[in-house]
Every structure is written in structure tokens, then in C-alpha cells.
Amino acid sequence: MTPTDYEAIARDAGLERVGARPPLGQYLAEMWRRRAFATSLAKFRIQAQMSENRLGLAWVVLNPLLMAALYGTIFGIILPRETRPDGVNFVPFVIVGVFIFQFFSKSFADGAKSITGNASLVRSLNFPRMLLPLALIIQQLIELIPMLLVMGIIVLGFGEPLTWWWLLVIPTMLLMAMFNLGIALLAARLTVHIRDLTQVIPLITRLFFYASGIFYSLEEVLSDQPEWMLWVAQVNPVHDYITIVRDLILGGINAPGWMWFVASGAAVVTLAVGIVFFWRAEERYGHD
């Protein structure tokens, strides 16, 4: 008998191939049943991070603070003042930009390695592989909480008032988490097929960094450029999430209402595409 004959007999007996990809609805239902695994994995990684470094979770806040100090010195002191947004407290402007961008960059970089970095786990246990990128996003959300608290304290310390608009930062970050998960799913599958992609991700992240107006006003920098360049820069979802949070916390940014539609649409579409794209290669994870 040929292998095909054996497969036919197995199918007639109701047996399924090991690692076979279930239908999408069944796959997502299985993920929901095992959601505790993703949460536990995220908490374990945070505990491991705290035990490996003397300062532990403090580095979650220290890293963006050091970045803000470094680049703030370059863009706030060395470079011309013309690039700064008018009528905005510059230090909180930089702090908000760096902290929110850190949420995206870590989700992107760590999500891309979520499968390749857990090869032994993927090969030895049977579970929806999508739980691994999900665990990383949950980890980033947990680490985001102290970052937002420190960010708020710094902003208040530089004279910005506490208003009810700050509460809208929560749904904004949830939308960004959906977007980040979609990006992590796309990157996780692509990295499995193209391992060299991990070498390119820092360059892509840096491109987003400078294209998101972290330390300067895109409107000012691109004022002498063709109008389409500013439009392309403004529909960058990462830029929009940062601009919305700045508008809610600092005021005076005047984020246009359509940015909420871009932020919401990017979150839903990117997540949906990421889920389908990742799920379609479920059988290949651990075999490439």
C-alpha cells in the first residue's frame, strides 16, 4: 500500500494528521480555551526579565527615558528650533512620542521572533501557535502600564493639566495593541519563511521611528515638500496613535478627527489580515 492509501484509510476512520490546520473558527475557539497559557507565558517572561537584571522591570521605563534624553538633546538642543511644533511643551511632546513608539517597536521586534525563538516548544507541544505572538503582546500591555504611569507623572511635572481626556488614552492603546498584534502575526510568519528578515526589522523600525514625528512636527519638516508626502506620512498608523495620545494629554496638537478612523481601521484590518495570514501557515511552524 502507498502512503496515499494509508492516508485515505485514516481519513475514513476519522483520524486527523498531526499538526493539521483546523478551520479558522475552530482554531480561534481553541485559542480562547487556552488563553490562560498566553497570559501565564507573558507573566513568566516578565518575572524572568526581572530576575535577570538588577533593576528588573525598571528597565521597561528606563529604556524609553534614556532614548528620550538622548534624542531630545539632539532634536531639542542641537537641531534648529524650527522643527519643533508651535505652542507645545517640547519635553512632554518627546516623552509621549518615545514611550508610545516603544510599545510598537518592542511588539514588532519580539513578535517577529515569537515562533523561531520558541522552536523547541513549537515542535514538542500541540497548541495554536498564534498563542505565542499573543503572549508577547500581552506582555507588552502589562509593561505598558508602568510606562504610562511614569509618562503621566513626567507630563504633569512639566506643567500639563490632568483632564478627563486622558481616559481616552486607554481605548487608543487598545486599538494600538490590536494593530501591534496584527503586525506581530505578519512578522512571525514571514520570519519563519525568511530567517534573514530579522536583520531587516531594525531598519524597518528605524524607518517608522523617523516617519512618525517623534521629535519634530511632520507638518513643519515636510512643509516644502509635495503635498502627497505629508499625506503619506500622516496616514502612518503609528504616527496617528502617537498624535492622538499627544492631543489627549498635551492639547494644542489638534489631531484631525479622521485620524481616529485611520487608527481604528488600521487596528481592525491589520489584525484580521494578520490572523488569516498566520493561520494559513499553521502546519508549517516547527517543520521549516
Task: Give the confidence band of 257 by pLDDT, cuts at 50, 70, 90.
Answer: confident
When pLDDT is averaged across residues 202-217 and rounded to a whole number, the result is 84
Please check whether residue 250 is in contact with residue 93, taking contact to mean a CB–CB distance below 8 angstroms: yes
- Quick one: CA torsion of 204, 208, 214, 217, rounded to 10 degrees? 130
pLDDT digits (tens, 9 = 90+) for 70-80: 766 665 565 55
Residue 211's nearest CA partner among 77, 105, 66, 87 is: 105
Task: Give the confidence band of 22 by pLDDT, cuts at 50, 70, 90.
Answer: confident
CA torsion sign, 200 to 116 to 134 to 99? negative
When pLDDT is averaged across residues 50-57 and rounded to a whole number, the result is 62
pLDDT of residue 135: 93
DSSP 88: S
Distance CA 19, CA 123 (A): 10
pLDDT digits (tens, 9 = 90+) for 149-206: 888 888 888 888 889 999 999 999 999 999 999 999 999 999 988 877 888 888 888 8
Q: Would you say residue 98 has pLDDT above 90?
A: no
Locate 221 and state its grid cell.
Answer: 519638516
Q: Would you say residue 7 has pLDDT above 50?
A: no
Locate 195 and state its grid cell.
Answer: 530567517
Q: Global pTM? A: 0.85
Q: Would you give the end-to-end CA distance of the chain in angstroms? A: 28
Q: Would you say residue 62 has pLDDT above 50?
A: yes
pLDDT of residue 85: 63
Q: Report which residue type is found at 120.
A: S
pLDDT of residue 99: 87
